[in-house]
Structure 1
Amino acid sequence: MQLKKINPNLQQALAETGLTDPTDIQKECFGTLKSGADAVVIMSEGEGKSTTIAYTVIQKLEKAVGESTRALIIVKDKEAVLEMVDMIQRFGKYTNLRVIGVNDKTNIDDEKNIISAGMDVLIGTPNKINAMFSGAGFNMNTIKIYVVDDADELFKLRQEPIVQRLSMSIEKTQRLFFASQLTERIEILADKIMIDPFLFGVDDYEDEDDE
């Protein structure tokens, strides 16, 4: 994929999966996402939302480091967990990044043991991630990038408190919201937890009240 200063190994893996031409919004937001700035990215279906999350995380982490988790991705359900895990594994085939996906049906004790042994990317549903980090033993301050996918759908289900609580547990990180539409709930929480967030894709959408 022809993106400015993209990691060559990542670019090769993307090309091997047939991803060579970025969408306009992918080109527009890549530099900002790569820089570590907070952002809200609005992408309609077919614009590569999940793909953008996956390659942004890989670009940020590049390789396995230490034992502590460095990327946390919140997704809406089990299917989204499986999809994101698959993407990061395929796009990260030329890295040694370690990735695990968790959902409400998986075994939390087994997962904690796996993560404690060394993990780079943790993907999961809000309730499961909240349960994992509510107990002792995890240092959230190693998280370098915190992503919420389908933020519009999650916040409509009143998941903002979990997203905010997890964010407050991380001293310094890049915070990213991805959604198919910009809603008032997204704007409110972004203002609360992000530092001068950039907005992408909003020109094509009207703010909507999701009450």
Structure 2
Amino acid sequence: MSFKKIIEPLKDNLQRNGITKPNPLQTEILSKIRGGKSLFVIAPKNAGKTTSIVISVINKLKAAFEDAPRALIFVKDKEESLKLAEIFNTYSKGTDLRIYCAYEEHNMELQREELYLGTDIVIATPKRLNRIFYLNGINLNKLQMCIVEDAEFLFRNSNFAEVTRTPESIGRCQYLVFSDNFDDRFERWQDNFMHLAEIIELE
């Protein structure tokens, strides 16, 4: 089986990096994500969760558009943010998609200024994203995809509460949560803003 309905630059970049067909996880979820379905994706490490995020976001957004971000991805820390941005840069070659990282170690005012210039994909730590938002430093009104990568980090510090605030501030959106395990606390999101989400589990 080969990738279907993938924009040409992305398909070329996948092939250039040795990815010619979807793995079992991607076979299961990519068409659902493309169709706009909200998902909890539960799969072990090295199952292809991160690559699935990158493929899905690039293929959905396709090209730069206006200034407000259309995809928001929550990550654990600065290191994970920069690592994910590097993967996005690899697979978005040939497109003009703009990727921005927001994390605590960066100057707040500078981040607000940089976001004002426009971006399509924001990769952020929960606390920094909320600080920027409440200072009116980011417009989430155009958001189409809200994603959590490796969601285990949510249950340390106050990250779960920080991420839960975001749906209170945006309209209709597709939610994608990627995790090694399904935590009972996710049921709160099912009751509130992910009540139609499907749970996909890969052993």
Gaps of 5+ in 2: none
Query: How far did 1:137 drift?
Result: 4.7
Q: Is the 8 A contact 2:189 2:195 kept in 1?
A: no
TM-score by length of 1: 0.90
Root-mean-square deviation (CA, aligned residues, Å) is 1.6
- Number of aligned pairs? 203
Runs of 4+ in 1 over 3 A off after TM superposition: none
Aligned to 1:188: 188
Quote the residue 2:95 is aligned against.
95
Deviation at 1:32, TM superposition (A): 0.6
Preserved contact between residue 54 and residue 91 of structure 1 (Cα < 8 Å): yes
Q: Secondary structure at the match of 2:90?
A: helix
Q: Please tell me whether the aligned partners of residues 152 and 182 of structure 1 are also in contact (alpha carbons under 8 angstroms).
A: no
Contact 1:38 1:195 in 2 (8 A): no
Query: Residue in 2 aligned with 1:66?
Result: 66
DSSP 3-state at the match of 1:79: helix
CA distance in 2, matches of 1:108, 1:140: 17
Residue 100 of structure 2 is aligned to residue 113 of structure 1: no
Q: Which residue of 2 aligns with 1:123?
A: 123
Letter aligned with residue 107 of structure 1: N
Aligned partner of 2:160 in structure 1 is 160
What is the SS of the residue equivalent to 1:140? coil
Q: Deviations over 1:117-168 (max 9, x none)?
A: 1111110111111111111253211111110112233134442221111111
TM-score scaled to structure 2, two decimals?
A: 0.93
Q: Aligned with 1:184: secondary structure?
A: coil
Q: Matched residues in 2 for 1:18 and 1:158: separation?
A: 39
Of 67-76 and 132-141, deviating more is 132-141
Give the distance between the partners of 1:16 and 1:191, measured in 2 at CA: 42
* Alignment match, 1:83: 83
Structure 1, gaps ≥5 residues long: 205-211
Identity %: 32
